[in-house]
A and B are shown apart, each in its own frame.
Chain A
Amino acid sequence: MKTFQIKNFIVLSALAVMMTGCVTDEDLVQTDPNLDSELAFWKTDEDAVKGLNAAYSALLADGTYMRSTPLLLDLKGDDMRSNSPWVAMANVGKFNSSVADASIYGWAYEMCYQGIYRANQVLTKVPAIEMDAELKQRVLGQAYFLRGLYLFHMVNFFKNVPIPLSLEELKHPQKTEAEGWAQVKADFQMAADMLPASYTGITGPDADQKGRATKGAALAYLGKAQLFTRDFTGAKATFESVMNLGVYSLVSNYRDNFTTANENNSESVFEVQFSREAGGVALGWGGIPASDWGKTSARAITYAPRGFGWTDAQPTWALYNEFHDELTANGQVDPRLDATIFYNKPGVMLYGQSFQQYYATSPADLNDLFARKYQNSDGDFANEMDWRSGINERLLRYADVLLMYAECLNETGNTAGAYTYIQQVRSRVGLADLATVHPNMTQAQMRDQIAHERFLEFALEGHRSDDIRRWGWYQDPAKLAWLKSRDPEFNSYTPGREYFPIPQLEMDTNPGIIQNTGY
């Protein structure tokens, strides 16, 4: 009897468990509690601004301006060399990047396309958001600017590249270099049409924010793209409209362009924001963004003088020597030398120590050259060993606009007109009037003069390698021989290698893509 009751009880309770169960059909639908669904995003003006900020943030990764992109731009010039033990890095300037090892150049490729993906999200999703029309226009204008900027880097580095303009497809076919530049210009033109000249005085969540892309930035980059594609007339007109905005002027102290002391200044047309104060302290090399990522650059530790960082990139003696070609009006050495290079000079201090004392026991270092631009070496820091530099990277300075404009004048037959704009840049550092020193130059002489001016003004700023290529020096035997005499890294140049190889993963996964010649 007892047995029977117990048995029934057990069976009944078990059946109860079975019938109702502890997993219901509702339980079978689970949503991710850790991240918000995309379905709930892209609804408000706040979402639009956040989406745009994310597109900017791709500028801060290892592949972009945290480290790789400055190296890729700098090392191929005759102003810089690399003795890095990291073969992938050492080979950048030696025109010998390996297809099999996509370190550094492949990271730039990867990261710029992540930036394009984020910009495309804004361009695709924001138009449908109901929000303030002016803010929406600014958001979209900046997204066009950023897509143009990332794509500029891709075309510039890799020549024939995919051009993703939508979110629909996963694979985007390879396009020609000309198609690439056309898209870059179209994006910058859109941006220029939509953006304000300044964020000062506007109303909205972006009011007064330094570092956002402006009409001037879009126009300057449009002009640069026109110049790179040898549309001198178009570029000339575009640079004129930059100057006519009336918001830019050169800063009096040249070194203010390379330290934290005077960031986002009047000379800055567009700069990437870095800061030790904002964000966490983890190094945000790339990958899935995390809340503790810092917003700092690893450029300084990579370029730093021996003992203060890794010394992977160093100025060339050709650069050092060229600074001595012309003294200032007062008979001094060009002050840009000391702003650019550490060398054996009495009284020079680096990171609070005397250069000569620090390297006294190491003659090899004492008589070597080290990067000074963009280093935190003025005394506030003992070294760069924590990897975290807060110095903004100035991508485009007004000085560049002036010299590019001068080049347009020279190329469009107005060589005499170029003097004025070159001299603005020379005068800041006390160089004598060019019209007096070298009057009546021919167009060809003026080209060389502009090359010299740009070399010294923008040393270690990543412009030289672009200039060498767009001026056709690789195809000019005399110029190439001259470059080899200045920087032995050019000895291993082979045709086609002014561009980087397209990374192997892209080759392996994107059907029909063709590798750049020379690799």
Chain B
Amino acid sequence: MVFLQIFNYIWKCKKYIYKTNQILMFMMTITHLFKAAGGHTLKIRIALVVAVLFSVCTMQAQSITVSGTITDAADNAALPLANVVVKGTTKAATTDFDGKYTIDANQNDILVFSYMGYTDQEIAIAGQTTINVSLATNATAVDEVVVIGYGSQKKSDLTGSVAVVNVANAKQTVTYDVAKMLQGQAAGVTVQSSGEPGGFVNIKIRGMSSFTNNNPLFVVDNILVDGPYDFAPGDIESIQILKDASAAAIYGVRGANGVVIITTKKGKAGKVSVNFRSLTGFQNVRNKIDVTNREQYQQITNQAYVNSGQTILPGNDPASQYYINDVDTNWQDAAFRTGRIENHALSFTAGSEALSYNFSVDYFKNTSYLKTPQSYERYTTNLNVSGQKGKFKYGGKVSYTSSGKENFNSYNGESAMTALLQAIPTMPVYDENRLGGYGGADNLTQRAITLNVIGFNNLIRNRTNRNRFLGNIWGEAEIVKGLKYTLRASADQFNGFNRMFTPPSDLGWYYVTENAESALTVNNDKNLRTIVDNLINYDVVIGKHNISAMAGYVMEKETYYNHYSRGVGYTPGENDHLNYADAISGGEFESAVRRKSILGRLIYTFDDTYILTANFRQDKSSLFPEYNNTGNYYSISGAYKVHNDVKLPEWWNALKVRGGYGLLGNNTIGVYAYSPTVNPFASYLYGNTLAPGTTVTSAFDPNITWEDTTTANVAVETGMFNNKLQFTAEIYVKKSTGLLMGVPLPYSTGAFPASITTNAGDVRNTGLEFTVGYSDNDHEVKWGVNANLGTLKNKVLKLGDSGDPLPGINSMTSVGRSVGEIYVYEAEGIFQNQAEIDAHATQPLAKPGDVMFRDVNADGIITDDDRTYQGVTIPKYSYGLNFNAEYKNFDFSFGFVGAGGNKVYNGTYNALMIGGLLNHSTDELNYWTPQNTNTNVPRPDVLESNQNARPSSRFVQDASYLRLQNVQLGYSIPLKDTKFIERIRVYASGQNIFVVTKFTGYDPDFMSDGLLSRGFESGSFPNPRTFIFGIEASF
């Protein structure tokens, strides 16, 4: 089985590599890298060529060769990949897997031995050729180096709020998307996702600070990217999340939503290491929603017809010749199947001091749990190269991703899941008499406008291919001691392709696709972003004063181009290429964005006790009019390491207090949003002759500018009992002003869309964040537990000039409340008789058995003024808990995630409780009749005379949940001969095992707009339960 997979993988790699267009792409993108440097291509090219040449010629010096073994002082185990540096130089070596090293040095040099988590040791060579060292674990083992944006810093020196994600824990969630991995991994980070293979993932850091875009900035190997798409999570070495202005101000206008910094694996000098990982898994929908079967459906629908005074439909009438009693489709049973998930990866690491590399290939595939072609498949390659020669460091990255996604199709934007649940049981899945072979409903006998989701998605072919190249090259030169100059050119090129073909078909009445309607659309997208970073760093130590300064100049270009073609008119079975369409149309769209920024940072440390950090960034962007195009951002933060100043008890290892304040920006608006344009396609006709028409269709605000976010953050960090116990507590206030948003306009304005993008609104987010961890590695059973909790309180401070609330879907955003609170009618029972209706505030056309709505404003009539706020949709708290343990060759881990204190509007349940022509929830069976009065389900009425199913408190639910996100059991196979195979581990894991919640839909963690209608659930694809079997091997 395993060998089959390996073989399978290699075969796929071959297929991949031999795709010539991709090789071509590679070449092209390298070219773009050079283009990124604008008119200075030649100089840079020469510089690089020289640099490479330089790295090849070896500098000879008088020296001796020192070798030895580095071991752990505690158990004398060899320490592989430990570092040996000749003090005061950049000469370095790394131990091999047996802890052995060899290094050339001068006789009177001093060697510095270091290993992460261990205390450094310095030993003078003094003529020795063999130096064996045993290193002791460091009391402050947490002192790893973290990437902070245009630089790095020791974790203990951080003054801003930076969450360092435990990548091992995060990776236990097998997913295509990095954002999904972060769920439950850091306090204050919330994730919303759906179970659609390759679907979008919504991630927010510290609440909602924008009405247009709350997605954080992702920085992958120093390249700024807007979305976490197209990266193989397996390549990731570290993830840092910058949460406050103190940390993120260096990203200026991009930092307001937080920054996720991802670093992929780099090569290490040492022997060649090969790692192989492979997993395969099975996915199922965890639960089903109870809907009525044929008889129950017909009973309720007939009652709905009777109640509205109409004759029941022939298909549902046992007395009719058209009565349907031979079809009883359970659409969930018909649609669900076991989906597959696969991930195989191979990586090579090797190198010398002059050049080391990490190369990886990764294959991911996920097929849907629905019997439709929907799937997601991705190939990724990533190459990181770095090296050093004297005072010159250099490196680069090339990553290429090619993915294919078969998309779900929605009819008029309706969710496929909702349509599936609403599909009537008297419609067959298959019907060979209809064009296309799938069943449908009939106008006369069934009347329901009901979509055969299975047929619809199997007939339409809708595929998106994404090809993405991400790369950079950089060089760093130490000009004088402590002064370094870095030049980096990055390119991020995305090519997208979508092809959607809707063939002629007959899916029953209303869903007929005539030949003339049959259509093919082809879309080609290309987005290229190039960034040139120029950075100068200066580090100096003067006595107890430690100063680290950085200044930079960044230029960025982004261009987008889209070309689309559309062909309509195909006969059944006709070649579906564009050329065969009866009519072809097309068009193109392009846009360009230019940015430039200057940035700077100063870190001052006194005696390793007091630390002060200041960040500054000025951004200029073409997204705004010239007179508004500059934004200045800054932050100031400080930390006080109490443990270095005050004598703490023996067991108390570390105590640090830090705090900061700063200003961040957000520029997420559409291109050209400020400039009024005219639309030339509003044409009319006279007789049969087209007459071109031009008009302004949209409303523009010529004065739009950046959103600003200020954050204040105070935290306490502490470590106890040899730092086995770590605890951090943090409080923050994040205030965003001048939020850009599409403010809804009255239809009477006449603009389309009926909204205007403008700076209108202030929002404040406040919260507490706690992280606690305990680990015990001293005993045979090694174990650790990490937990985090974030609270969030969101409050709208201002909306526009007038303070008019903003409507969302069944929600309202208003001053003094949180964004997107549910705003609906309040149901207060069922009218039992006419007397109750007469006594109640007027509800025109209400009859006994209809829902009674509360007259909130007591004006004697139920109107839209009687809608009230029915709940906060942003979770008041979210948390994660991860546990892992090791015993001998076994390892075990699990992780919980959860959120709570929020309400959602269950739109799917609403859709199943209409009591009309579409299928019903089984709850609907308990509908009111004069005999069945003790119920909260109203009488069904196909005409909805009382609008019983209008948005109301009937469909508002508590969305708090606790999910067993993953559980994993691993076993490392004991190997006798470790010469070839280093390690083999096999494991089994489960994801999304159970959820504790009162929410009655598929999944309380659903995809929504994440903004004004955040709490509106409307048929998001449920996150599946997944079982995975995997193997990891090192050679």
Using a CB–CB cutoff of 8 Å, the interface residues on chain A facing chain B are: 3, 6-7, 9-11, 13-14, 16-18, 20-23, 27-39, 41, 47, 49-60, 83, 85-87, 90-91, 94, 96, 98-100, 106, 109-110, 113-118, 120-121, 161-162, 164, 170-172, 209-212, 263-264, 273-275, 277-282, 286-293, 295, 306-307, 310-311, 362, 364-365, 385-388, 488, 491-492, 494, 497, 503-511, 513, 515, 518-519
Contacts and interface: CB of A to CB of B under 8 A. Distances in A.
Nearest to A87: B944
B902 interface: no
A312 B569 CA distance: 26
Interface of B: 36-40, 43-44, 46-47, 50-51, 54, 309-310, 314, 390-392, 443-444, 447-449, 475, 477, 479, 485, 487, 509-510, 512, 514, 516-517, 532, 534, 553, 555-557, 566, 568-569, 583, 585, 587, 589-596, 620-622, 626, 629, 671-672, 675-699, 744-754, 756, 802, 804-805, 807, 812, 844-845, 863-864, 916-917, 942-945, 947, 950-951
Contacts of B583: 280-281
A29 B626 contact: yes
A386 B688 CA distance: 19
Nearest to B916: A87
Contacts of B748: 113, 161-162, 164, 171-172, 506, 510
B619 to A, nearest CB: 11
Nearest to B694: A50
Given A211-B686, A505-B747, 9 more contacts: A17-B532, A22-B36, A22-B532, A29-B626, A54-B684, A83-B310, A110-B747, A364-B444, A492-B943
A102 to B, nearest CB: 9
Contacts, number: 352
A311 B43 CA distance: 73
Given A172-B748, A277-B688, A506-B747, A91 B944 contact: yes
Nearest to B630: A28
A385 B506 CA distance: 11
A51 B47 contact: no
B321 to A, nearest CB: 9
Given A31-B675, A38-B677, A508-B805, A10 B477 contact: yes
Contacts of A34: 589-591, 677
B682 A54 contact: yes
Contact of B802 (A17, A49, A511): A511
B917 A53 contact: no
Best-surrounded residue of A7, A52, A277, A519 (most CB of chain B within 10 A)? A7
B943 A87 contact: yes
B717 to A, nearest CB: 38
B138 to A, nearest CB: 36
A170 B696 contact: no
Nearest to A2: B54
A98 B516 contact: no
A282 B752 contact: no
A55 B697 CA distance: 11
A201 to B, nearest CB: 16
A347 B55 CA distance: 95
Given A10-B477, A497-B844, A508-B807, A279 B686 contact: no
B682 A264 contact: no
Nearest to A114: B750
Best-surrounded residue of A90, A98, A116, A170 (most CB of chain B within 10 A)? A170
A110 B39 contact: no
Nearest to B597: A23
A170 B583 CA distance: 40
B693 A57 contact: yes
Contacts of A362: 444
Nearest to B695: A54
A310 B510 contact: yes
Contacts of B951: 100
B620 A6 contact: no
B626 A28 contact: yes
Nearest to A387: B517
Contact of B944 (A13, A30, A98): A98
Contact of B690 (A121, A279, A281, A311): A279
Nearest to A205: B691
B593 A30 contact: yes
Contacts of A310: 443, 509-510
24 contacts: A10-B51, A17-B38, A23-B555, A34-B591, A35-B678, A36-B677, A36-B680, A50-B693, A53-B682, A53-B692, A60-B684, A83-B310, A85-B448, A96-B945, A99-B864, A106-B747, A172-B749, A278-B689, A281-B568, A289-B683, A290-B681, A310-B510, A504-B864, A507-B864
Nearest to B687: A210
B678 A41 contact: yes
Contacts of A86: 449
B36 A292 contact: no
Contact of B675 (A32, A58, A209, A518): A32
A7 B392 contact: yes
B40 A13 contact: yes
A278 B622 contact: no
A264 to B, nearest CB: 7
B38 A54 contact: no
B810 to A, nearest CB: 9
Nearest to B556: A23
Contacts of A58: 682
B510 A120 contact: no
Best-surrounded residue of B51, B684, B864 (most CB of chain A within 10 A)? B684
A13 B690 CA distance: 58
A293 B844 contact: no
A156 to B, nearest CB: 15
A90 to B, nearest CB: 6
Nearest to B555: A23
A509 B677 contact: no
A367 to B, nearest CB: 12
A110 B509 CA distance: 29
A23 B557 contact: yes
B691 A53 contact: yes
Contacts of A18: 534, 553
A519 B947 CA distance: 12
A149 to B, nearest CB: 14
Contact of B746 (A21, A33, A295, A510): A510
A513 B804 CA distance: 13
A117 B696 CA distance: 9
Nearest to B680: A36
B905 to A, nearest CB: 13
Contacts of A295: 683-685, 690
A286 B750 CA distance: 13
A268 to B, nearest CB: 12
Contact of A91 (B595, B620, B943): B943
Contacts of B749: 113, 117, 164, 170-172
A287 B690 contact: no
Nearest to B690: A278
B834 to A, nearest CB: 15
Contact of B40 (A16, A280, A518): A16
Contact of B50 (A9, A11, A28, A49): A9
Nearest to B914: A87
A385 B686 contact: no
A288 to B, nearest CB: 6
A158 to B, nearest CB: 10
Nearest to B844: A494
A170 B844 contact: no
Contacts of A286: 752
Given A29-B626, A98-B944, A385-B512, A515 B863 contact: yes
User: Which 4 pairs, one residue from A and one from B, show the smallest C-beta to C-beta distance?
Assistant: A117-B750, A22-B38, A54-B693, A53-B693
A446 B694 CA distance: 48
B47 A22 contact: no
Contacts of A14: 47, 485, 487, 534
Contacts of A114: 697, 750-752
Contact of A35 (B390, B477, B679, B751): B679
A98 B594 contact: no
